[in-house]
Structure 1
Amino acid sequence: MVETGLPSGWEVRHSNSKNLPYYFNPSTKESRWEPPSGTDTETLKLYMAHHHSGPAVRSEAMGQAEGKIRCSHLLVKHRESRRPSSWREAEITRSKEEAIQILQGYEERIKSGEVSSVILPFQSQTAAAPGREVTCIGFFGRNEMQKEFEDAAFALQPGEVSGIVDTASGVHLIER
């Protein structure tokens, strides 16, 4: 069996409606978009890169992903977020202003040229930084994401990074 990095009993499934992977525990019937507590994030990252990004990339290359874009984002949740918890932090208590300050620090590092991408430099840091989640979203089209996120993502050119984007989920930096 292929190692996913997920805790025992958990598996990766694919949402047909969102065209995104999610995590499911058949024993408890629990499903979630974020990896469950106890996940080996490095192993999961390798598994997802190998098993959940190839077909989408191939379909885009064949012209079948017309109208869709692919993004990654760094999300910092706060206590007013739609779900103020994550697999790393049971209850997120930081204010929205504190979440924005955290993202401003990352944004400054990108603008200064210290780092060039949202996803690569922050993956190792997010494991030790509760409430910060770096996610490769994959391909999505119009009317599939929260409006603020979607508008910001579609306004970017490939390789560009957004300013801070505020949604019901938290605050984001988005890289197309």
Structure 2
Amino acid sequence: MSSETGLPAGWEVRRSNTKNLPYYFHSETKDSRWEPPAGTDPEKLKEYMAQHHSSKGVAPANFANADGKKIRAAHLLVKHRDSRRPASWREPKITRSKGEATTLIEQYQAQIRAFEAGSTDSNPKSLSELATTESDCSSARKGGDLGFFGHGDMQKEFEEAAFALEKGEVSGIVDTASGLHLIQRLE
């Protein structure tokens, strides 16, 4: 058990980028949940949350990390049955294989490239348009927009790809524990 948080061993408190709320994450099993896991010391957790996650301690959206660099990006996420949480607002239980997810995201990538090239072939659409209807992330309702984030806020593979992009540029397919992503840097 963590003496500081009161959570069982392996669990930590993280902050959701989409809902800006704290959640509980187990680094080994990659399990995440909104409710504290079994075995939590509720008094210690309450004290920790009051100190570190109360509204007066939350940084504003434009707050910069230690290196001062924040970017804004949108993404389209395609989950598969081996994703960290194989469920989404679109499907309560995702059963597609990683190969099927790859085929899907490659089709979306072709539509985005056609849109960027000004083509009228292959049903061109922007990443934002596709994310709104096809993304397995709750950010879909905002066209995939994840808002501003800095170093250490996202999964390593996602962050590295997003920070490497120029404004307006769309990444290749990025594979993370959450699934497969296409990322567009907005700012």
Contact 1:18–1:144 under 8 Å retained in 2 = no
Match of 1:77 in 2: 79
1:136 has 2:145 as partner: yes
Match of 1:100 in 2: 102
Q: Distance in 2 between matches of 1:136 and 1:94?
A: 25
Q: Deviations over 1:113-142 (max 9, x none)?
A: 35463113441x33xxxx733331111111
1:150 has 2:150 as partner: no
Identity level (%) = 50
The gaps in structure 2 that reach 5 residues or longer are 1-12, 23-32, 36-59
Q: Distance in 2 between matches of 1:76 and 1:19?
A: 18
Kindly name which structure, 1 or 2, has the bigger radius of gyration based on alpha carbons: 2
RMSD between aligned alpha carbons? 2.9
TM norm structure 1: 0.60
SS in 2 for 1:81: coil
Match of 2:181 in 1: 172
SS in 1 for 2:99: helix
Q: Deviations over 1:70-91 (max 9, x none)?
A: 1110000000000111133221
Contact 2:75–2:131 under 8 Å retained in 1 = no
The gaps in structure 1 that reach 5 residues or longer are 1-14, 25-29, 33-54
Paired AA for residue 21 in structure 1: K
Aligned length: 125
